[in-house]
Structure 1
Amino acid sequence: MNQNTFRQLICRNDTRTKAKALRFLLRLAAVPYAVGVWLRNRLYDWGVLKTVAASVPVISVGNITAGGTGKTPLVIGLCRYLEGKGLHCAILTRGYKSERGPLSDEPALLARACAQTTVVVDSDRVAGARKAVSQYDAEVLVLDDGFQHRRLRRDLNIVTLDATCPFGYGRVLPAGLLRE
């Protein structure tokens, strides 16, 4: 199933019985995911799971839905702005290894677009933050796709939305596009 077909299914445009049955199964599958996200968030809210503060300001750019909402252009613009103000930034991204080399497409794009900014790829955002500060003298950390990442304490959250479907059809993954 391609992305377009999936969106047509979850936005409830397809009213055939087969589509309704599939949506029902997706809603069932969404329950354990939603419970897990809720529980993780409460554990952070209650202080059971601890956050780690970086020694420099942390700005998170993220979204509440899966899919493109313009995070990458916003990260690029934000880093260029901060660099223009004389601050050395580091972008922390989870990244994924590509077949062509150590950087996937998005971190490579960020590195090209923000030549003065350090791009640190690490699935452990806390370790990435420490590395950015200690090895690259970062003065500001920008978390790419960091809204759901709670372990590294953030000083500012910037949330992007898809204006055509800002709340992911009102359901969490996989029944909708909401991440939480």
Structure 2
Amino acid sequence: MALANFIQQAWNKKSPWLKLLRPISALYGYVSERRKQQYLVGKKEVYTAPVPVMVIGNITVGGSGKTPLLIQLVQYLQHKGLRVGVISRGYGGKGPFPMCVTAESTAEAVGDEPALIVERTQVPMVVGPNRKQDIALLLSKYTVDLILSDDGLQHWALGRQIEWIVLDAKRGLGNEKLLPEGFLREPKSRLNDSTVIEHSHLNEHKTALNMHLAVGNPYLLNPNTAIKQDFCASDCMHAVVGIGYPQRFYQSLSEIGVTHITQHAFVDHHSYIYQDLQFNDAYPIITTEKDAVKIKALLKDQTFTRPIWVLPVNAVLSEPCYALLKVQLDSVNISI
């Protein structure tokens, strides 16, 4: 955990010492490109699903807003009457894979992001490292018109008809170097091959295809009669967060007037234990929905006397995003 945080901070600061990792980045780039070409030229099999596949991913390590975007797209397409299914790697989940994600699924079994996606949308969803097996299980259980792949942008064994890449405008591409010298999974030229959705703050958009996160009203994860039920933004709070880019969470807190915080940043997909939430005071905790799906599992066996507030966010897409989506779906014979 300490090493991951150290590297993350170095990326964010564009630390000069990162150039020492350049030989490893060169090897990473060579191996990644060689593997990609094996699929593109037919040396390795690419699986084409019987229904269209749309991949939602990024070329950077760490949070970009991909999960809120996917949730918004699922809800939008469901509202349009489209039968949508979702597949995901299920990162952090223990399986066994492939596995259907239901309202009863735990983040420990299926991963935090899949648990949150189904909690918010009730969409048919399957997780597992083998996308072909995921799709087979999904289609054996449900009838769907479109499959959304949560991440999988670099999973070249999966054929896809549509790709959306989310790019955080504030983080950008860092030093524009591949892992581990920088936080790029692929060269920046990859952005030329797909639809790029700029994630930035409201009124700071530089492109027509953009999104921002709208902050909702905090809600209690552990409501009971012994806990204060009213949210007060001026309270001192412990900001507990385990996402790829915790600064975004702190910014969201600032937007609703929460400024007196003690920061507790864990690595992305952190598995919480009881001691992570123990502090020498009575201040409330505030966290993200992604973290909450894991923290709530602790509430079944432990008693928390301090309030644990959850800050929801919703992706707001520009109208050109929806217009382009319609065109892209029309191209694969899906009308909305």
Aligned counterpart in structure 1 of residue 164 of structure 2, from 151, 158, 163? 158
Instruction: Tell me the CA shift for residue 106 of structure 1.
Output: 1.1
* Cα deviation 1:74-122 (Å, max 9, x = unaligned): 110111111111122111011132696422211110110112x111111
Instruction: Tell me the CA shift for residue 11 of structure 1.
Output: 5.2
Q: Work out whether residues 133 and 139 of structure 1, in 8 Å CA contact, stay in contact via their aligned partners in 2.
A: no
Aligned counterpart in structure 2 of residue 26 of structure 1, from 21, 39, 47? 21
Q: How does 1:44-83 map to 2 (within 5 A)?
A: 44-83=39-78
Alignment-mate amino acid for residue 111 of structure 2: S
Long gaps (5+) in structure 1: none
Determine if the alignment matches structure 1 residue 127 to structure 2 residue 133: yes
Q: Work out whether residues 60 and 144 of structure 1, in 8 Å CA contact, stay in contact via their aligned partners in 2.
A: yes
Alignment-mate amino acid for residue 104 of structure 1: G
Instruction: Tell me the CA shift for residue 70 of structure 1.
Output: 0.7
Instruction: Tell me the CA shift for residue 165 of structure 1.
Output: 2.8
Alignment correspondent of 2:124: 118
Higher strand share: 2
Q: Distance in 1 between matches of 2:14 and 2:25?
A: 19
Q: Secondary structure at the match of 1:157?
A: strand
TM-score normalised to structure 1 length: 0.87
Q: 1:12 to 1:107 in 2, by over 3 A?
A: closer
Instruction: Tell me the CA shift for residue 2 of structure 1.
Output: 5.7
Q: Secondary structure at the match of 2:109?
A: coil
Q: Whose RCO is larger (CA < 8 A, sep 6+)?
A: 1
Alignment correspondent of 2:93: 97
Instruction: Tell me the CA shift for residue 13 of structure 1.
Output: 4.8
Alignment correspondent of 2:178: 172
Higher helix share: 1
Runs of 4+ in 1 over 6 A off after TM superposition: none
TM-score normalised to structure 2 length: 0.48
Q: Work out whether residues 65 and 168 of structure 1, in 8 Å CA contact, stay in contact via their aligned partners in 2.
A: no
Alignment correspondent of 1:107: 114
Q: Distance in 1 between matches of 2:59 and 2:108?
A: 30
Total equivalences in the alignment? 173
Q: Secondary structure at the match of 2:31?
A: helix
Q: Work out whether residues 65 and 178 of structure 1, in 8 Å CA contact, stay in contact via their aligned partners in 2.
A: yes
* Cα deviation 1:7-65 (Å, max 9, x = unaligned): 442356545xxxx3xx2332122122111111011112212122111111101000011
Alignment-mate amino acid for residue 10 of structure 1: W
Determine if the alignment matches structure 1 residue 41 to structure 2 residue 42: no
Instruction: Tell me the CA shift for residue 169 of structure 1.
Output: 1.8
Q: Secondary structure at the match of 1:66?
A: coil
Root mean square deviation, CA, Å = 2.0
